[in-house]
Amino acid sequence: MKRLPIALAALTLMTACNMQNNPLLTPSELPYGAPQFDKIRTEHYMPAFRQGIEEGKAEIDAIVANPEAPTFQNTIEALEFAGYTLNKVGSIFYNLLEADASDELQQIAEEVSPLTTEFSMYVSLNAKLFERIKTVYDQRENLNLDYDQMKLLEDTYKSFERSGANLSDSDKELYSKYNEQLSLLSLQYNKNQLASTNAFQMVLTTEDELIGLPGFIRDMAAQAAKDKGVEGWLFDLSAPSYGGFVKYSDRRDLREKMYRAYNTRAFGDEWDNTEIIRQTVELRTKVAQLLGYKDFADYQTELRMVKNGAAVWDFIEKLREPALPVAKQQVAELNEYAHSIGFEGSEIMPWDFSYYAEKLRVAKYDLSDEELKPYFRLEDCIDAIFSLANRLYGITFKEADVPVYHPDVKVYDVSDADGKHLALFYADFFPRASKRNGAWMTSFGDQRIVDGVEERPFISLVTNFTKPTADTPSLITHDEFTTMLHEFGHSLHGILAQGRYPSMTGTSVDHDFVELPSQIMENWAYEKDFLKTFARDYRTGEPIPDALIAKIKAAKNYMSAYYHMRQIQFGILDMSWHTLTGMPQESVPDFEKKALLATNVLPSIPECIISTSFTHIFCGGYAAGYYSYKWAEVLAADGYSLFEEKGIFDKATAARFRHLLEMGGSVDAATLYRDFRGHDPEPEALLRQLEIIK
């Protein structure tokens, strides 16, 4: 019997004592080892985090103390699977912090942040551990490794190098200090943004205030008011409430009120994020320069498909230059239309855009959300995406009876064509005060193979769709259905994962590659042969008419240059913050206004700001990476053209794309794409798809 190192033996005894009553630490008896949400309580998190950190440290110590010479197995693989408990606890905790937050969870996040940061530094700045990694790395050409093993070795070495392993002791201390501060700032930024968002409510009590709002918007607001115990109709800054109001309300004064509230979140109030932004950007710049990079953008993009910040700017410019004049032309046309139907101002303002854009869309295409929503009952849409996955990839979804973290959540057991279990799929569709805005895919546990035993993933899809009312089922817009397909594409990336190593499976891919599976799925939302399989009027059962589908397709690229430029502006703002080599003298709003000045197509409102609620780049993992949405759109536009050529349900094409999904990050992203498509993508593919160029 092999003896355990002393530290690990002591830990084993301690673990046995601590595990008995903590569902985050005890083996799950649920199907496939699913999270025990029915047993997890707030008080379980801190002990589990502490246990996970101690266990992780002991595992690192055991690697370092191993008297045998460093090998791929006893060093690289051992490190890959170290910290399992901490990863498991963190996956559950941080996902619930996004989907079902509470003051108690926020407090725990702040308390645990320095602990997990310290553990991260304990690993990444461990000189003896890096020495063993470097020994294996230096021998890599003689180790006869498989491709994924070689990639894991190279990724591991580079990760340590980029985390300060080659720094002096004094610089390592600085690096640790900076990262601990950044971790806390990220948490505080997110906390402020959520609090500021939830603080705003607009309660309307008269019919005059509701002019222009369709029935489904009124019903949603009436239900929100009822839930909060107030009379009338309640509007807040959640996506369906805010978006619906500014799109349909005839009351320009109230649209402006909503717009200003939404675009001043965490700015000038008690949750102001401006100082946090300055501190975050300054610290990120210091980290990058400490590691030898010019700026944070160069540091972030080094291991992505794009490779450096200059290439990002070049990519953005290729998409900006032809689109800006087209976007300005589209806004000019909208201004002309607004004046033709009675608008009296000199030009439309940002709070007018959605309102008049919707009216012009209806006028041009005789198409409205009100007309479309009855055909997109949420339950039918769920069945439709499951059926699409079955038709393309042979997988099936069956509702499973396992515990959930909120009553709104449903769980599905996903099986392959041969009956093999692939994943548990958690679906959480409706808004609540404890959930952040937007839509996203995540996981409570990733796929991996340890000692020949495979663990399949727990995938989660989270949205903020309109809840059903007493009289109406949950009906989503066509745009929301497109969003649903987008996040389901991410989900398939996780569900179909087939790698050995969790750091290289599922969505663990190059940051600018990760949006390809999601972006490509959006295309099916416009395909007649798919829509006809499920889109029926929930009141009559009548299928969606061909004429309506034709309108959807015709309207697909309506205002495409404007919306394209909006995304480009987000990318420009992101890169402007993260290509700084020193802090600017301007205030945060002045810096933002200057960065976006040349690309504005609507009037800029001096009191409004994007940066203070731009969670993607200040606490969401997209720092110096927002361009990747457009990068992936280019990949998706070019990639989907193969489905268009071969057939949108073509099994051979789907099989090739499934291989791309299965491989995750175990194969170079550029190689995976070329293997699927047969060539490298070009930005022109997207510009043509958006009809910005011919």
- What is the helix (H) or strand (E) element at residue 428, kind and residue range? strand 421-428
Dist. CA 368–CA 358, nearest whole Å: 8
Q: Judge residue 467's burial from the number of C-beta atoms within 10 Å of its C-beta, 0-12 exposed, 13-18 middle, 19 or more buried.
A: buried
Beta bridge partners of 204: 233
Count CB neighbours of 317 within 10 A: 12
CA angle 444, 32, 412 (to 5 degrees): 70
User: What pairing do the DSSP bridges indicate for beta strands 453-455 and 458-462?
Assistant: unpaired
Dist. CA 427–CA 408, nearest whole Å: 8
What SS3 string covers 464-479? CCCCCCCCCCCECCHH
Count helices and strands in the chain by DSSP H and E runs:
28, 9
Distances (CA, A) of 430 to 238, 379, 434, 475: 11, 13, 11, 11
- Virtual CA dihedral for 221, 462, 436, 204, nearest 10 degrees? 0
Dist. CA 190–CA 473, nearest whole Å: 32
Residue 88 near residue 25, CB atoms below 8 Å: no
Q: How many Cα atoms sit within 13 Å of 514 on the Cβ side?
A: 23
Question: What tokens does 115 get?
Answer: 């602990």
Residue 124 near residue 468, CB atoms below 8 Å: no
Residues found in the chain:
694
Residue 175 near residue 164, CB atoms below 8 Å: yes
Question: What tokens does 67 get?
Answer: 């008297």
Closest CA to 513 of 489, 488, 543: 489
Residue 294 near residue 622, CB atoms below 8 Å: no
List CB contacts of 113: < 8 A, sequence separation 6 or more: 180, 183, 184, 187
Beta bridge partners of 412: 399, 425
Residue 78 φ/ψ, nearest 5 degrees: -60, -40
Q: Which residues are catalytic?
A: 487
DSSP string, 193-257: HHHHHHH--EEE-SGGGGTT--HHHHHHHHHHHHHHT-SSEEE-SSHHHHHHHHHH-S-HHHHHH
